[in-house]
Amino acid sequence: MSETHNARQQAIHALRAVIEHGESLSTALPHALRDLNFRDAAFAQMLVYGVMRWRWRLEAVLQQLLQKPLKAKDEDVRLCLLIGLFQLADTRVPDHAAVNASVELVKQLKREWAAGMVNAVLRNFIRRKDELLAEADKDWQAKYAHPIWLIKQLRTDWPEHWQAILDANNQQAPLTLRVNPQKISPAEFVTQLDRELTQDGNAITLQQACDVKSLPGYDEGWFAVQDAGAQLAAPLLDVQPGQRVLDACAAPGGKTAHLLALQPDCDLLALDAAESRLARVADNLCRLGFLPANTPPLPNPLPQGEREQLRCAIIIKAGDAAQRDRRD
């Protein structure tokens, strides 16, 4: 099996975890991509995000192309078709490569019976692409890739700009880093990067995506990966020394770490419903220097009656945060 075919297979595994089992992308993707090299992991991630972003539109197109709906047990075939349609509609993958790879993929999934159908459906889309997309786009939810309730709300709140807001929201987010000033200054970090970038304070946006683990200072905790918009949240709280902060639904820990970088002398409780996701918070905080290495999540400290769906937690005391640079 070629690496690229394996990337497509792993994309299907991630999509099934999200669509069928309700996992978040931030949980499903790392698990699905862990054995791929950077190039193939990036390709698989692009497929997963693309299908999820344009799922309503892709489903509307697929409905026009299928003579009858696929059975529930053939979900992997349907996802293979959606991946193929996404590549044909929204990527620079050559048409013949997208079709051939999709046919090979269903065979690798042991759905040989579907190979001819996948080939026919995708080639039919190539012939009728403009017509099929125009028909799908009659549904606003499909056209704008947002739930209809949100589209209506944006039209009400921003009557002159709602379409631009939706279009902007559908663009692939750039790779943005937040400098950890406890470790390095933004100016020094920019010098160390030696890459094309834009800078706004501690926010560094790279012009070209890359494997963040290959960047200088990753292991030393010089930076965190965090969207520019998400970096606005922690400063707005203006946390003061000794204040107690609850970070609910904290994974993967970007805002948690940002709060501690801005105010290490706060008492911060980080919670998440999934222990596996909270382990990522612990890993990130350890790398950034806010927890000792290999600190595991703690059992949920809340009384039984107050737990609801919360199963685990990390508690960060003011003293723990202050120890980040103490090597003794």
What are the domain boundaries of the chain?
3-138, 147-172, 175-228, 233-325
pLDDT of residue 307: 45
CA 107 to chain centre: 28
Beta bridge partners of 199: 204
pLDDT for residue 22: 87
The residues pairing with 272 across neighbouring beta strands, listed in sequence order, are 312
Q: Give the pLDDT confidence score for residue 316 in this predicted structure.
A: 55
Give residues with Cβ within 8 angstroms of 281, minimum separation 6: 250, 251, 252, 253, 256, 270, 272, 297, 314
Within 10 angstroms of residue 61's Cβ, the number of other Cβ atoms is 27
Are the C-beta atoms of residues 118 and 102 closer than 8 Å to each other? Answer: yes
Q: What is the β-pairing status of strands 244-247 and 203-206?
A: unpaired
pLDDT at 298: 61
Rounded Cα distance, 212 and 87, in Å: 25
The candidate with the shortest Cα–Cα distance to 216, out of 188, 174, 236, 246, is 188
Mean pLDDT, residues 46-58 = 94
Q: What is the pLDDT averaged over residues 91-110?
A: 95
Q: Can you tell me the mean pLDDT for 90-117? A: 95
Residue with tokens 């801005």: 262
Could you give the count of Cα atoms lying within 13 Å of 310 in the half-sphere of its Cβ? 24
The CATH class of 175-228 is: alpha beta
Q: How confident is the model at residue 272 (pLDDT cuts 50, 70, 90)?
A: confident
Assessment of whether the complete model's pTM goes beyond 0.85: no
Maximum pairwise Cα distance, the chain: 70
Q: Is the pLDDT of residue 120 over 80?
A: yes
Instruction: Tell me which of 1.10.940.10, 3.40.50.720, 3.10.20.30, 3.40.720.10 is the CATH number of domain 3-138.
Output: 1.10.940.10
CA distance 102 to 190: 42
Rounded to whole angstroms, the Cα distance separating 254 from 36 reads 24
Please state, for a pLDDT cut of 90, what percent of the chain lies above it.
63
Instruction: Answer yes or no: is pLDDT of 154 > 60.
Output: yes
Mean pLDDT lowest among 181-185, 266-270, 293-297: 293-297
Give which of 121, 143, 24, 32 is closest to 70, Cα–Cα: 121
206-253: pLDDT as tens digits:
988 888 989 999 999 999 999 988 899 999 989 999 998 888 888 888
* CA 11 – CA 163 distance, rounded (Å): 30
Reported as a pLDDT band with limits 50, 70 and 90, residue 50 is very high
Domains 3-138 and 175-228 share a fold: no
Distance of CA 86 to CAs 41, 95, 102, 129, 293, Å? Answer: 17, 11, 11, 12, 41
Fold classification of 233-325 (topology level)? Rossmann fold (3.40.50)
Mean pLDDT of the chain: 87
Q: What's the pLDDT tens digit per position in 238-249?
A: 999 999 888 888
Helices within the chain (DSSP H only): 3-19, 25-33, 38-53, 55-65, 75-90, 95-108, 115-136, 140-144, 148-157, 162-169, 186-193, 233-237, 254-262, 275-288, 304-307, 318-322
Decide yes or no: CATH 3.10.180.10 for domain 147-172.
no
Sign of CA dihedral 132, 122, 166, 17: positive
User: What's the CA gap between 252 and 284, in Å, rounded?
Assistant: 8
Query: Are 281 and 252 spatial neighbours (Cβ–Cβ below 8 Å)?
Result: yes
